[in-house]
Amino acid sequence: MSFRILGTGSALPARSVTNDELSGFLDTSDDWISTRTGIRSRRLCTTETLDELAALAAREALAAAGVAASELDLVVCSTTTADHIMPGEACAVAEALGASCPCLDVSAACAGFVFGLDVADGWFARGRARRVLVVSAEKMSRVLDWSDRASCVLFGDGAAAAVLGEGKGLLSLRLESRPDAETINIPGLAGTSPFDETERPASTFSMDGRRVFKFAVNAIVDGVRQTCADAHVEPQDIDHFVFHQANERILGAAVQRLGIEDARVARTLAETGNLSSACIPLALDRLVRAGSIEDGQLVALVGYGGGLSVGSCLLRWGSGT
């Protein structure tokens, strides 16, 4: 027995920042950003903490699933930008919800939500859980170099979650890592040890955009094809594609190579920017709340990012038997 998704939720900061606002302190413009990325605005934290956003998204997911926090057997949180180095973000979420179950964080960058689903799948397979909460929460604004127009315009803050229950909705799930610590990188804290003689750069985001573009398109295409092969279906049979929202050009190139209908690909990028691991569950939540996903439909998820890591998943929606 594996899982099915019982309910989803999401939460974004109140403050929306447009491309024009960024051009007030960066050498950029709305046209420069939107034509290269597809992003026109993003949500950024002002007074909100990541703990608060993650807990709000989790509460929405629990309400949608009709599950009480006391019924949870596991909380998994994917994040690379937690409010705490310790404890894990999952523990902070569980405390806010009033849950008392094992909690752990997953660090797989933008593929984190699918990695979190894989962790949950293991608990269901071993009979360790009946209800699992998977939360993805990212405050990318805290790790950006706000003088770098090539990177700071790409990201936003937000959280999204899914409550999982026993079922047969999972048709295929694949994880992959292509070890590469430099292409997408946020250096760790330098600390204040008087014995540390190493030189540590600032803990800000950096990325080799050209390498990431090629990696990302291949990750989406290979992920879809591999999970389809596992389930003995064709990409054209899939009703909804929920890919990581990094760049409109990446999405367009993947659509073209797969030969799928563009209308079947979920998009949140224009109004939220790249939310790292929260992109996929946010897009999924929006599809669910719009009534766009029907029971029995096939939903493909592909996340890719730092590591370099890839997570691909194919679900049969609403499959409880």
Instruction: State residue 44's pLDDT score.
Output: 98
Token readout for 109 is 């960058």
Q: What is the pLDDT of residues 191-235, one digit of tens each?
A: 889 999 888 888 898 898 899 999 999 999 999 999 999 999 999
Residue with tokens 């029995």: 296
For 30-42, the pLDDT digits (tens) are 999 999 999 999 9
- The pTM of the full predicted model, rounded to 2 decimals, is 0.96
| Dist CA 77 CA 96 (whole Å) | 14
> Tokens standing for 116?
């979190």
Domains of the chain: 2-167 (3.40.47.10), 172-316 (3.40.47.10)
Could you tell me which residue, 58 or 205, shows the higher pLDDT?
58
Rounded to an integer, the average pLDDT of 176-204 is 89
Q: Which of 205, 55, 63 is nearest to 140 (CA)?
A: 205
User: Torsion angle of alpha carbons 139, 77, 302, 274, nearest 10°?
Assistant: -10
Q: Which residues contact 112 (CB under 8 A, 6 or more apart)?
A: 78, 79, 80, 106, 136, 276, 277, 303, 305, 311
Amino acid at 10: S
Catalytic positions: 110, 244, 274
Residue 77 structure tokens? 């949180």
Q: How many CB atoms lie within 10 A of CB 180?
A: 15
DSSP 30-43: HHHHHHHH---EEE
E strand map for 107-195: 131-139, 157-167, 170-180, 184-185
**Contact indicator for 131, 161 with CB cutoff of 8 Å:** no
